[in-house]
Amino acid sequence: MRRSTGDEAANDEIESSEAESIEAESTEYSLAAAAEAYASAEASAHESAVHEASAHQVTDAAAPVVATSDRLPDAKGPLSAPYTWLSIGMFATIFLAAFEAMAVTTIMPLVVRDLDGESMFALAFAVPLAAGIIGMVLAGNWTDRSGPLPSLITAAALFVVGLVIAGTATDMTVFIIGRFVHGLSGAAVIVPLYVIVARAYPEALRARVFAGFAAAWVIPSIVGPALAGLVAETFSWHWVFLGVIVIVVPAAAMMVPPILRVRDLVQGDASVPWSIGRVGWATLTAVAALAVSLSKELDDPWRWIAAGVGIAVAAFAARPLLPPGTLRAARGMPATVAVKFVVAGAFFGSEVYLPYLFIENYGMSPSLAGVVLTGAGLTWAAASWLQGRLTHRVSDTRAVEIGAFTLVLALVVVLAVAAFTLPPVIAFVAWALAGASMGFMYPRFSVSVLAQSKRDEQGFNSAALTISESLGASIALAVTALVSSAIGAGAFTADFAVTVAVAIVGVVIAGRVRPPGVPRG
């Protein structure tokens, strides 16, 4: 994505402040780490936010006297006037996007049963993840060109359309179309929100706004699964989608008046070109990932050939979106992005099957099955807080090594539960450990990448982290579906065996996160 040029010192200053805000999310506001698990657009949004903040700062340097309409007045906090409705609207939007991401995991077993779509279970998760890759890249480019308002309104409208399609679907194909629209817009809507923070809020308030965003992701991870299960049991799974519309519309509407008061939020930079190449590579990556998901419909040996080709094409298409050396896990930043790809695939590839396992094999209700996800959300947040207090005692590399190894242990236990029908409480404890492992290492991915990035590379490299996460989860889901389809009986065991194997790769390459020349510690 193109960056504005101009006063170099001003550019460096604002980019440095944005980097400090992101680092604050991973340390002082350590709950932000949990946000990364459920927000596949956060880092890409940061890329666009850095660009917009830089452009604003350069303009200010050239003209010290700034009109009052260029930025909202200073205030004591994000909830103080004139930021009140804007902050509440942004929080509500992110909260709802996060709630949907968590809720779907709990109710999907009911959806596929009701729509006779068991064979498309994994595809229903892979489609929105792949669509999100396109959405975050496209929204970032559009926001750079036209300001955040057009992309925000469009993404919010599409989000509602996706909810309506999914919530009223009477067959699995229509439902997945809704999930595509939902995933595309859900990732895209986050990008302009981050730009709004960079343009409308003073620097002193940005870290507090980001902390609020983090809470908006964490809270749904704790209450979302059980609440979604309760709604599905009491009414219908349809209302998990349709009920959200009642809140999405007013949340978007309350943001518009304060946005219109800030000139920078309704003006873009027409000189910024459309990044056709970047959007094209993102689209090809997403299509290739979906092709892997669809390959299971073919007969042997073509399913394996098609899957292999799809993975190869996805890897090739993702190269321009990732730091050089990522595919071979080159030491330092490329390996950091690669490890996140692997652990995201292992964790999220397992997460979607856990409620399904409990509902199908143990006869649990959706709300009770969702409790296992709630436990992981709590331990994720707790471990994130803990690692924030151990920043000076545990290096980024060591934290990633500990997290990757612990994740393997947790997934091995989950595999044993599926293979030997062990008591489900064992899986609950194991998944809580898995959540803790992710919370302990996830913040360090962002910290490590930013520490190794030049200022003019921070946005691209941060976006690469999120793209790798979405791609890893999407491909892992596709491969688990392919393997379980080929095996038939014992499908859950096969699914978790795949994710254990993926997690082991993470352990093998975790040590390569340490940059060249940095002593081990």
Expressed as residue numbers, the domain containing 153 is 1-270
- Answer yes or no: are the C-beta atoms of 427 and 281 closer than 8 Å: no
Domain tally, the chain: 2
Close Cβ partners of 283 (under 8 Å, ≥ 6 residues apart): 134
Q: What was the pLDDT predicted at 54?
A: 47
- Answer yes or no: are the C-beta atoms of 306 and 481 closer than 8 Å: no
Question: How many helices (H) does the chain have, and how many strands (E)?
Answer: 21, 0
User: Where do runs of H (alpha helix) occur along 352-395?
Assistant: 354-362, 366-369, 371-389
Q: What was the pLDDT predicted at 73?
A: 57
Q: Which two tokens stand for residue 157?
A: 């409208």
State whether the Cα torsion 125-129-134-139 is positive or negative.
positive
Which H/E stretch holds residue 13?
helix 8-26
Q: Are residues 239 and 357 in the same domain?
A: no
Q: Kindly state whether residue 78 falls inside one of the protein's structural domains.
A: yes
Q: Kindly state whether residue 46 falls inside one of the protein's structural domains.
A: yes
**Which residue, 240, 270, 300, sits at the end of a domain?**
270
Close Cβ partners of 154 (under 8 Å, ≥ 6 residues apart): 188
Q: Kindly state whether residue 278 falls inside one of the protein's structural domains.
A: no
Q: Are residues 79 and 10 in the same domain?
A: yes
DSSP 8-state secondary structure symbol assigned to residue 136: H
Q: Kindly state whether residue 105 falls inside one of the protein's structural domains.
A: yes
Note if the pTM is more than 0.85: no
Q: Are residues 81 and 198 in the same domain?
A: yes
Q: Kindly state whether residue 291 falls inside one of the protein's structural domains.
A: no
How many CB atoms are closer than 10 A to CB 506? 27
Instruction: Pick the closest to residue 103 from 179, 209, 189 (CA basis).
Output: 179
Q: Kindly state whether residue 419 falls inside one of the protein's structural domains.
A: yes
Q: Are residues 334 and 221 in the same domain?
A: no
Q: What is the CATH number of the domain that holds 99?
A: 1.20.1250.20
Q: Are residues 349 and 248 in the same domain?
A: no
Q: Would you write out the chain's pLDDT as a tens digit for each of its 521 residues? A: 333 333 333 333 333 334 333 333 333 333 333 334 333 334 444 444 445 444 444 444 433 333 434 555 566 777 777 788 888 998 888 888 888 877 888 898 899 999 998 888 888 888 888 888 888 888 878 887 888 888 889 999 999 999 999 999 999 999 999 999 988 988 888 778 877 877 788 877 776 777 677 777 778 877 888 888 889 889 999 999 998 888 888 888 888 888 887 766 666 677 777 788 888 999 999 899 888 888 877 778 888 898 899 999 999 999 998 999 999 999 999 999 999 999 999 999 999 889 889 988 898 888 888 888 888 888 988 888 888 788 788 889 999 999 999 999 999 999 999 999 999 999 999 999 999 999 899 888 878 887 887 766 666 777 788 888 888 988 998 888 888 777 765 688 988 999 999 999 999 999 999 888 776 66
**Which residue, 270, 288, 303, sits at the end of a domain?**
270
Q: Are residues 379 and 510 in the same domain?
A: yes
Q: Kindly state whether residue 314 falls inside one of the protein's structural domains.
A: no
Q: What was the pLDDT predicted at 490?
A: 63
Q: What was the pLDDT predicted at 489?
A: 58
Q: Which two tokens stand for residue 102?
A: 């968590």
Close Cβ partners of 22 (under 8 Å, ≥ 6 residues apart): 46, 210, 446, 450, 462
- Answer yes or no: are the C-beta atoms of 307 and 482 closer than 8 Å: yes
Q: Are residues 152 and 258 in the same domain?
A: yes
Residue 517 CA, chain-centre distance (Å), reads 31
Q: What was the pLDDT predicted at 508?
A: 96
Q: Are residues 42 and 190 in the same domain?
A: yes
Cα separation, 59 vs 432, in Å, equals 48
Q: Are residues 249 and 336 in the same domain?
A: no
**Which residue, 270, 286, 313, sits at the end of a domain?**
270
Q: Kindly state whether residue 295 falls inside one of the protein's structural domains.
A: no
Q: What was the pLDDT predicted at 262?
A: 72
Cα separation, 266 vs 261, in Å, equals 9
Q: Are residues 92 and 201 in the same domain?
A: yes
Q: Are residues 89 and 190 in the same domain?
A: yes
Q: Are residues 344 and 258 in the same domain?
A: no
DSSP 8-state secondary structure symbol assigned to residue 147: -
Q: What was the pLDDT predicted at 175?
A: 95
Q: What was the pLDDT predicted at 264?
A: 64
